Structure 1
Amino acid sequence: MGSEKVIDEKNQGQALLTEEKKGNSKKLYIESYGCAMNLNDSEIVASILSEQGYNTTHLIEEADLVLVNTCSIREKAEQTVRKRLEKYNAVKKINPKMKVGVLGCMAERLKAKFLEEEKIVDLVVGPDAYRDLPNLLEEVQSGRDAVNVILSKEETYGDVSPVRLNSNGVSAFVSITRGCDNMCTFCVVPFTRGRERSREPKSILEEIKQLSEQNYKEVTLLGQNVDSYLWYGGGLKKDFKKASEIAQTTAVGFAELLDMVADAFPKIRIRFSTSNPQDMNLNVIHTMAKHENICNYVHLPVQSGSTSVLKRMNRQHTREEYIELIDNIKKIIPDCSLSQDMMTGFCGETEEEHQETLSLLEYVKYDYGFMFAYSERPGTPAAKNMEDDIPLAVKKRRLAEIILVQQKHSLYHLEQFVGKTVEILIEGSSKKSDAHWKGRNSQNAVAVFPKGDEQIGDFVNVYIEDCTSATLLGKRV
């Protein structure tokens, strides 16, 4: 995966389909862009609207309501969404009763533009206001524009059971936190998703129990920053120090939550994403080592290998602290695979600082990586206070150098599996051949092998005979 950061690319902009609910007569068309969190939010929206008489459709022409769940992380995502909105409006000319809405992270930032200036949507709903959709839709039906982008201190949607959309029926995402308190200077998330709050452990376990009853075999605990999960009875993470003594002593952190989930569901594979170096403590790694069913894979974004760049990014860790964390992970779980997010060409990045990133890559030898060139996001501290002064050609060259190093390491790690037998969870047919299954091992490596009498969702042992730069090739033992 030596690619730009797109989570599960195949789901980007795909119309979501859920099971029809009998008696629902209205049609909802919903597509999502951006991170896994957004895909998960679309499932929450579909669940709320199915109570309002909406079934999902993949035919935009027949939709009564068209929603696009947006991402503000990178400029490309915004341009894609604008193009989609133009398309919706062309359809609207044929079907004037159709309403169009924007959800998610772009909503907050561009509400005035979308509604008043460009008049391209009827409805703008931020990430914390999805429960308000029924009221907002009433407003729209009576001919008024509707907007709610208020960010909440409490909303975690803990009691909304997401409708699983476009699911392979094997693996599912479960959100455990919303928002983020880490004010990285390049990032728009704290402004679009609000302050960090955690979801009650009981509601998380309840949701996983439902998934287990529906025969799901793998769950990914999801948050903008899972390591800072902290439940002390509700409320914002930053208010924890004001909580009562008993609330503080009985609080549940991420390591405890992980332990609870792994204990309660020994037959389910557990993954988590995204981790943050400054918040990750070794209890989490020891918990992973203790449980067979927690995958040996950590996604640990670093963004840069240079302490001076990390400081400008307001990342709360140095190069040295990051390396120490990596060393500890490798000591505690020798076969743990690691992946990174790396940003090149951030404001003021010198050639020496870029070399430090390359040397960090050589040191860690990540299994996978998501690499991209910095693009300025309006409203972020970097956009307000720093100059985006690295020429595009330089950004592209540096990115190419980083990707090259990563591809070398990705291949190296896959080669280590050749000649070994690994446990694979079957996720579905291989994209390239219907005669082959595709699945992943604990370290998140994708393997392909010829089909026998196995089913989707089976755990099988596969002997790895060969590999390409991205895939293990083998046969069932």
Structure 2
Amino acid sequence: MLNFIEGILIDVARLQHMEEKVIDETKQGETLVLDAKEGNTKKLFIESYGCAMNFSDSEIVASILTKEGFNTTNTLEDADLVLVNTCSIRDKAEQTVRKRLEKYNAVKRINPKMKVGVLGCMAERLKSKLLEEEKIVDMVVGPDAYKDLPNLLKEVDEGRDAVNVVLSKDETYGDIAPVRLGGNGITAFVSITRGCDNMCTFCVVPFTRGRERSRDPKSIIEEVNTLANQGYKEITLLGQNVDSYLWYGGGLKKDFKKASAMQQATATDFAQLLEMTAKAQPNMRIRFSTSNPQDISEDVIHTMAKYQNICNHIHLPVQSGSDRMLKEMNRQHTREEYVALVKKIWEIIPDCAISQDMITGFPTETEQDHKDTLDLMERIKYNFGYMYKYSERPGTMASRKMEDDVPEETKKRRLTEIVDLQQKHSAYRTKAFLGKEVEVLIERESKKNKEEWSGRTQHNIVAVFPKMHYKPGDFVKVKITNCTTATLIGEAI
């Protein structure tokens, strides 16, 4: 998950569907509501901020609390329990959450029986401040402690503050079927890992979500099969770093070397999980996010090429085109290793779309470092990307040991240059589809034209076309006749 703030997010291939590591601005603060369960008498108001992992976690929380007698509501004033699932990744999200907490407490003064809790990454980082110093919440629950919610609620009901932010070595929530909230009934996220071991200096995730552990592949396939039976047409295997997925019976990835010979011999890696998923539901589209250049194996690429239902798109964060910057960021790849990986991907899957994450203005970044980034972009010509200017976040190695020494105006200028170049490359990539036929999964009505459907190609590019007799959830062959930088325009065949 990216850990820098006040950046400009550009997604020129799809504006509505964001994956892990990326903040979907259209969903921030979304109130999650599901069908009421008969017999439940208490009301839950839950809002989510941050990345896809946080929204996925909210679905787990809703599932747990449904069994505790709660139905969801989108009316704050009616709630018995108000929860906000938080993000510690960007200052903007954190400040927004603080304003929402002020709003909750204003309502609480009118309805003193209402309880307020903070979930997720911000909860773990600011537990003492929120609960003891500022006294603005009743309950603080970290990302690995959601199963403890029933016990924590009892503590709160008895008049005591409740907190559990213990990071687990094995919690993956693989035994909880998430309640699908606020989705379109067509696409869904399936969490396969939690935590991260990479220790990039700009990132707080290892400290807020703990060390990396993988979920039992059987529970993953069961969830995918359930989604298929419910009519979902596309799933995204989700994790901080999906390519390092490794199941050997449970436990942290770093402890794999301590596993028995039998456990090591029968372990499941990401390429195997990807194949299992593709074979389990051959008519369902399979995506994954996010990949780490140091961990994605050639086996994963060959598996993608082997199965038609695995989408030809890899989100491959690079962060910088400068080897010096990559070393400062503690990225475990060099510029040339990254370029060689992209070349290998295109050798095996010639039309695979590649997207990026990029940070500009990281401490000590020089003009030459910036030019190296622009040069790398020219070499790859990404389909689309997510670009941010660096800003220090508490708890990261960079905040502890590095001075944020690049002037703000310099950051803004460099970011503008990166964004402008990405838009040029995105236009180049979308124009390559003119005259071609693509398969589009219809997700929704086009926001700009009610007479058109909007969906995405397997390359994760938005496409629109006249409605005709089609409906959301249909796979439609579309011939591309025009395009913008962001969107393919065509007609159904």
Please classify the TM superposition score into its range, dividing by the shorter chain length: over 0.9
Q: Is 1:368–1:410's contact at 8 Å kept on the other side of the alignment?
A: yes
Q: Which residue of 1 aligns with 2:114?
A: 98
Q: Does 1:21 align with 2:29?
A: no
Q: Which residue of 1 aligns with 2:464?
A: 448
Q: Which residue of 2 aligns with 1:238?
A: 254
Task: Report the Cα offset of residue 433 of structure 1.
Answer: 2.4
**2-side partners of 1:396 and 1:87: how far apart?**
33
Root-mean-square deviation (Å): 1.1
Paired AA for residue 81 in structure 2: L
**Which whole-Å deviations, capped at 9, do the CAs of 1:387-419 have from their partners, x for residues lacking one?**
111111111111111000001111111111111
Q: Which residue of 1 aligns with 2:127?
A: 111
**2-side partners of 1:93 and 1:474: how far apart?**
54
Q: Structure 2: give runs of 5+ residues left out of the alignment.
A: 1-8, 13-20
**2-side partners of 1:182 and 1:290: how far apart?**
29
Q: Which residue of 2 aligns with 1:143?
A: 159
**Which whole-Å deviations, capped at 9, do the CAs of 1:306-365 have from their partners, x for residues lacking one?**
111010111111101101001101111111001000001101111100110010111110
**2-side partners of 1:475 and 1:296: how far apart?**
22
Q: Which residue of 2 aligns with 1:288?
A: 304
Q: Which residue of 2 aligns with 1:270?
A: 286
Q: Does 1:402 align with 2:418?
A: yes
Task: Report the Cα offset of residue 3 of structure 1.
Answer: 4.9
Q: Does 1:198 align with 2:206?
A: no
Q: Is 2:139–2:156's contact at 8 Å kept on the other side of the alignment?
A: yes
Paired AA for residue 40 in structure 1: S
Q: Does 1:421 align with 2:437?
A: yes
What does 1:247-258 align with in structure 2 at a 5 Å threshold?
247-258=263-274
What does 1:381-396 align with in structure 2 at a 5 Å threshold?
381-396=397-412
Q: Does 1:185 align with 2:185?
A: no
Q: Which residue of 2 aligns with 1:76?
A: 92
**2-side partners of 1:118 and 1:6: how far apart?**
30
Q: Which residue of 2 aligns with 1:378?
A: 394
Larger RCO, structure (CA 8 Å, separation 6 or more): 2
Aligned residue pairs, count: 477
Paired AA for residue 259 in structure 1: E
> Which residue among 5, 10, 24 is the counterpart of 1:2?
10
TM-score, normalised on structure 1? 0.99
SS of aligned partner of 1:9: coil
Task: Report the Cα offset of residue 10 of structure 1.
Answer: 2.1
SS of aligned partner of 2:31: coil
Q: Does 1:321 align with 2:305?
A: no
Q: Structure 1: give runs of 5+ residues left out of the alignment.
A: none
Paired AA for residue 133 in structure 2: E
Q: Is 1:3–1:403's contact at 8 Å kept on the other side of the alignment?
A: no
Q: Which residue of 1 aligns with 2:348?
A: 332
Paired AA for residue 385 in structure 1: K
**2-side partners of 1:157 and 1:131: how far apart?**
8
Paired AA for residue 330 in structure 1: W
Q: Is 2:24–2:50's contact at 8 Å kept on the other side of the alignment?
A: no
Q: Is 1:296–1:443's contact at 8 Å kept on the other side of the alignment?
A: yes
Q: Which residue of 1 aligns with 2:17?
A: none
Q: Does 1:352 align with 2:352?
A: no
Q: Is 1:277–1:300's contact at 8 Å kept on the other side of the alignment?
A: yes
SS of aligned partner of 2:30: coil
**Which whole-Å deviations, capped at 9, do the CAs of 1:171-202 have from their partners, x for residues lacking one?**
00000000000000110000000000000000
Paired AA for residue 474 in structure 2: D
Task: Report the Cα offset of residue 6 of structure 1.
Answer: 4.2
Q: Is 2:22–2:52's contact at 8 Å kept on the other side of the alignment?
A: no
